[in-house]
Amino acid sequence: MPTLPWTVPHQAPPATEVHVFASRFETRTLWGALKFLLRTPGVWRQVGHAPGAYGATLKAEPFKRTFWTLSAWESPEALGDFARSGPHAPTSRGLAPQMLDARFTTWASSSDDLPVSWAEAQRRLK
């Protein structure tokens, strides 16, 4: 699966603080990576309609069993609401046993700096 392009569900106002979230997941097995891939479309559709979502992308290296997400949100609350609802909530619970490693980071940025680069996300996840 190629990297999904930065998608903008809702345009962020100019010069506004946004909350950026990045994650890195490594599955225990290739079977776990396949399960991750099979559940991605539902969560991706959810992002496209999520209140407060200013942008999102996904990078997948399934044969390395590694996946990254990168998104920008109106507020930490908007991110939390997304994570606890729709397809994301049962997907994250269901995939938890498949994970070997998971890393998360958040930071504040300006809407003028969107989209955030993968290099910046990966630097912050180290």
Run of H or E residues at 9 = none
Question: 3-class DSSP state for residue 34?
Answer: helix
d(CA 75, CA 58) in angstroms, rounded, equals: 20
What confidence score (pLDDT) does residue 49 get?
A: 96
Q: DSSP states of 59-121 as a string? A: EEEGGGTEEEEEEEES-HHHHHHHHTSTTHHHHHHHHGGGEEEEEEEEEEEEGGGPSPPHHHH
CA distance 75 to 91: 22
The listed CATH number (3.30.70, 3.40.1350, 1.25.40, 1.10.3470) that belongs to domain 4-11+29-125:
3.30.70
Residue 8 pLDDT? 98
31-67 pLDDT, tens per residue?
999 999 999 999 999 999 999 999 999 999 999 999 9
Q: What is the pLDDT of residue 121?
A: 97
